[in-house]
Structure 1
Amino acid sequence: MAFSTGLSGLNAASKDLDVIGNNVANAATVGFKQGQAQFADIYANSLFGAGNNTVGIGTRVAAIAQQFTQGDITVTNRQLDLAISGNGFFRVSNNGTIAYTRNGQFSLDKDGYIVDSNGDHLTGYLAGPNGIINSVSPVDLQIPTGDLAPTATTKITGQFNLDSRSAVNTTPFSITDPNSYTNATSLKVYDSLGNSHDVNLYFTKTSVDPTTNNATWTVYASVDGTTQVGTGPIGTLTFNSSGSLVSQTDSTGAAVTGPITLPTIAYGNGAASGNLTLNLSGTTQFGNSYTPNTLTQDGYSSGRLTGFTFNADGTIVGTYSNTQSMVLGQVALANFNNVNGLIPLGNNLWAESAASGIPIVGVPGGTNLGKLQAGAVEASNVDLTAELVHMITAQRNYQANAQTIKTEDQLMQTMVNL
């Protein structure tokens, strides 16, 4: 009996050393989760059950349990390195076969897919042309390489201070005669093909009411400095004696309370005609120099992808050469009711099993899911000091069980000698 008991102890200690050696070997493996050998005692069964003085017959390996504690986050400053701070696993696909990993060392393949070192595709949710995430079901994440389509300008927003000290200008307006307007400014707008055009705005002080002291300014516009927008002014602005804008009219002379609608602009070169509005809310007429405080428009040209970043919620934001940014997709994470039920596959991968339960898929920062940290990885959670101490203990256990067998051998030899 003692031989088999000692042998089971040797096997258990050997298995413990195997687990410890595997932990030590993977101390530098990104996303590795250390294992722990768990043992159970063995008793012989009898027909009528065990008595109070039953002697055990050794030990066996009950389980090799992986410890899914958080590893240290190590900053790498590499764009495609991702670390999960909290619960969850990256979800990767190998031609539709799904596995799970904590190793966030990803790269781009030749087709723009985000892949791990095994070539498996990171999965998540893709965004539509408008940057809205389609979160119906996870798919392989692919970074689009095509140009960002241009957007034609539809809105111009400006806020100016027109100098109340300016004299009334009675010279008929002409875009080629600087004496025919009081002030002017320019900004770039874009047509439907992404071509840029210079829109010039001209402000001319045309009258001051002697009774109310209200001042009227006429606004003109031109495209590319050669073509006047419309056949006359695009609108008028009236200011009270406090310098506040009190009324506006459009190119037809009709009163407007919001943005002024400009006459249609024919850009040419195959581009669609432009229909723009001009919002001058907040424009003032004070006794100070002419100042364009703000001047913006909502169009942009086509752009090439110049880079992308990951946010803490897993969204992938692309930046383009036209200074625009667009959401390209979002990384998906998965978690399980029983992570210890996952089946280790090697290569830092696990597979779901009946014991783990089905994956609960969501986005970083969602319920029971950690957040992402870009430019960093999660280090192995192996504590080398503890493992070396544990190795000494396992070695002592092995020696002690070997001594059990040696002692039993001596006893047997004594009996033979008798």
Structure 2
Amino acid sequence: MAFNTGLSGLRAAAVDLDVTGNNIANASTVGFKGSRVQFGDLYASGFLSGGSNPIGDGVNVQNIEQSFSQGNVSFTDNGLDMAIQGDGFFILNNGGETRYSRAGQFTIDKDGFVINNQSMRVQGYTADDDGNLSGVRGDLEIATDNLAPRRTTNLSSDLNLDSREFVLESRVRDFASLGFSTINGEEFEVEYANGDPATPVQLYDVDNLGAQVPFTRASQIVNRIDAISGLSASATTTASVPITDAVVAAPGFTFSIEINGSPLNVDPTNLSTIQDLSDAINRSDNTSISAAIVDDGTGTDELRIIHNQGENLSVVVNGGAPITAEGSIEVTADRTVTGINGTGGPGTNLADEFAVSPVRITNAFNPLDQRTYNHATSTSIFDSLGNSHELTQFFVKAPSPGDGVGVSEWSVYLQIDGELVAGTDVTPYTARFDQDGVLQSVDGDANGEILVTDWVPRDADGEPNGADGPPLPGETVVTPIPEPPTTSAFVLNLGDTTQYGATFGVNDQRQNGYTTGRLSGLDVSNEGILFARYTNGQSKALGQVALAAFNNTNGLSPVGDTSWVETFESGQPIIGQPDTGTLGSIKSSSVEESNVDLSAQLVNLIIAQRNYQANAKTIETSDAVTQTIINLR
């Protein structure tokens, strides 16, 4: 009996030594879970007869149980290394066999699949080409090919337009038909819309005796008008001279010009064409006069002489009758002028002429002239081939509608690569703001959307570059642009734009297009989502790691390579996404270390050694007693 008891103790102590040694050997194994031996005593008993004081028969090993407690998480340099913080196992495909592991040392094989050190493929939820995760589980694959480009279908601009900006349009009233000599002695006053006092004006001079001296030249009237606050004026004199090359080339040709009675020296010799004559006038010392050959509207060329200060001109050809010209006047209203009231004087009434004279905008919008717009901002958009194009938004403050109380408006122009689009080459969009500076609408659209449907993507030479172009005539375009897009149409959303009394600023500007990109890196989120980073600044979900949990984790069967397989005792796996339910989260660029406590294992080693020696002593003692009995005579 004592021999059997000692032998069972030796066997149990040897198993304890083996398990402890295995724990010590794997103290640095990633994802390893330490084990412990569970012992049970042995008693010999018959059916219905256990005895009152039975003597034990030794010890047996009941179970070797693994401890699935959390190991320490340490950081690594590998972006695909993962550690599970909490419950769960990675799911591995070992050539069709499903294994479970806590060791998250992963890499990519030649085919792009995520694998562990034994080339087992990591299982997870796959994603489509747009990065949308599905519920389908399979081998996680990292696509290493280029990211396909995406055309811009939506651009959102969050801007503030400075409400303190002035209306830039300069409106000119053209008095070309108003002879200046007919308004000598005219008196009038200028009224302003902003309530400033009216400015009186007298279009005559006074001599030493107090008599009115009439102005005889347009330049004199211009100087008087130009001195008025809110008005500016200019004058030009144009003399049209019908003349032919034959006249100029004829012998004895003579030509003279007088400016307010002062002759301009023009050498008429050695001239054979009217172009020669024009060049001779332009070579004169008087820089205020110029000449050019123009079509008179009937297909016949004529010589046009211009004095840019509005002085009187007198031109004589071959001693004939003088061709005279008086200056014409243009008045620019730099401030808002409501009217000009005449108070008397001879000739044509300037007040009446002001009301009916044609109006021209001298600084109409020009994207090349910064003086014709208040604000501008540019951003990049992309066509279907991934080519980048520059979209510029121009904002021009417009006169307020009605009485200007509680509402204000801005004109919006759009330009792509130097070409005006969205029809703004003809008519701009109108953005209307309320009294609080909040956008009410853009051309009546309460969402502040502008649909661009006339953009043709072009290359650097201005030719179509092969990308998708505008919708076909009659094709209906809806917003938002449905996926997948088939044209170059896109939506500009100005819904968040404001008009406050603050400096113009771009708070945010986002568009959903991008050019092609190469894979530059990988990131893993706490939910186990694998994000690919590309050289174009984009990122896309490639898949999500799946985790498995078991009702009875201790029922799993270890099969080596720091992995386990499902058994009847473990139950079926509960599979889901990390950080959901009872499943733990994922720590990227990290691994879970072995949960073996090396100090405790060394102590266990000493205890197992002592137990082994003690059981061996039991056998030795039993042997000595038996030898004594054998030696009896």
Q: Give the total of aligned pairs.
A: 412
2:421/2:452 contact within 8 Å kept: no
**Amino acid of the structure 2 residue aligned with 1:66:** Q
| Separation in 2, partners of 1:355, 1:60 | 22
* Aligned position for 2:413: 220
Deviates further, 216-225 or 353-362: 216-225
Tell me by how many angstroms 1:14 deviates.
Answer: 1.0
Cα distance change, pair 278–8 in 1 and its aligned pair in 2 (3 A): same
* Aligned position for 1:56: 56
Instruction: Give the TM-score, by structure 1 length.
Output: 0.92
Tell me by how many angstroms 1:269 deviates.
Answer: 1.5
Cα distance change, pair 275–51 in 1 and its aligned pair in 2 (3 A): same
4+ residue runs over 6 A deviation: none
Q: Deviations over 1:304-328 (max 9, x none)?
A: 2211211111111222222122211
Tell me by how many angstroms 1:402 deviates.
Answer: 0.9
Deviates further, 59-68 or 213-222: 213-222
| Separation in 1, partners of 2:624, 2:401 | 124
* Aligned position for 2:510: 296
| Separation in 2, partners of 1:373, 1:43 | 50
| RMSD (Å) for aligned C-alpha atoms | 2.1
Alignment pair present for 1:2 and 2:19: no
| Separation in 2, partners of 1:81, 1:294 | 36
* Aligned position for 1:204: 396
* Aligned position for 2:19: 19
Tell me by how many angstroms 1:89 deviates.
Answer: 0.9
| Separation in 1, partners of 2:74, 2:9 | 39
Secondary structure at 1:405 match in 2: helix
**Amino acid of the structure 1 residue aligned with 2:620:** K
Secondary structure at 1:42 match in 2: strand
* Aligned position for 2:85: 85
| Separation in 1, partners of 2:84, 2:165 | 62
* Aligned position for 1:261: 451
Secondary structure at 2:399 match in 1: strand
| Separation in 2, partners of 1:288, 1:393 | 80
Which ranges of structure 1 fall in alignment gaps of 5 or more residues? 250-254
Tell me by how many angstroms 1:296 deviates.
Answer: 2.7
Q: 1:373-384, aligned counterparts within 5 Å?
A: 373-384=587-598
* Aligned position for 1:189: 381
Which ranges of structure 2 fall in alignment gaps of 5 or more residues? 170-360, 458-463, 470-487
Tell me by how many angstroms 1:303 deviates.
Answer: 1.9
Cα distance change, pair 168–176 in 1 and its aligned pair in 2 (3 A): closer
Tell me by how many angstroms 1:148 deviates.
Answer: 2.1
Tell me by how many angstroms 1:341 deviates.
Answer: 1.4
The structure having more radius of gyration, on CA atoms, is: 2
Deviates further, 36-45 or 108-117: 36-45
Tell me by how many angstroms 1:339 deviates.
Answer: 1.4
1:312 to 526, 532, 535: 526
* Aligned position for 2:109: 109
* Aligned position for 2:601: 387
2:165/2:397 contact within 8 Å kept: no
Secondary structure at 2:57 match in 1: coil
1:164/1:285 contact within 8 Å kept: no
Q: Deviations over 1:157-177 (max 9, x none)?
A: 222314533233233334444
Q: 1:66-77, aligned counterparts within 5 Å?
A: 66-77=66-77
* Aligned position for 2:145: 146
Deviates further, 324-333 or 39-48: 39-48
| Separation in 2, partners of 1:368, 1:40 | 34
Cα distance change, pair 69–183 in 1 and its aligned pair in 2 (3 A): closer
2:539 to 296, 318, 325: 325
Q: Deviations over 1:190-225 (max 9, x none)?
A: 111211111122222342447225543222222101
**Amino acid of the structure 2 residue aligned with 1:269:** N
| Separation in 1, partners of 2:421, 2:526 | 49
| Separation in 1, partners of 2:596, 2:141 | 33
Tell me by how many angstroms 1:288 deviates.
Answer: 4.6
Q: 1:362-373, aligned counterparts within 5 Å?
A: 362-373=576-587
What is the percentage of aligned positions where both structures have the same residue?
43
Q: Deviations over 1:68-107 (max 9, x none)?
A: 1111112224312211111111111112211111111111
| Separation in 2, partners of 1:9, 1:265 | 89
**Amino acid of the structure 2 residue aligned with 1:400:** A
Cα distance change, pair 34–269 in 1 and its aligned pair in 2 (3 A): same
Cα distance change, pair 166–395 in 1 and its aligned pair in 2 (3 A): same
Deviates further, 295-304 or 370-379: 295-304
Secondary structure at 1:57 match in 2: strand
Deviates further, 161-170 or 308-317: 161-170
Cα distance change, pair 246–343 in 1 and its aligned pair in 2 (3 A): closer
1:161/1:293 contact within 8 Å kept: no
**Amino acid of the structure 2 residue aligned with 1:261:** L
| Separation in 1, partners of 2:395, 2:117 | 62
* Aligned position for 1:252: none
1:37/1:65 contact within 8 Å kept: yes
Tell me by how many angstroms 1:331 deviates.
Answer: 0.6
Secondary structure at 1:204 match in 2: strand
Tell me by how many angstroms 1:260 deviates.
Answer: 2.1
Q: Deviations over 1:271-329 (max 9, x none)?
A: 11221222223434445544333333222122222112111111112222221222111
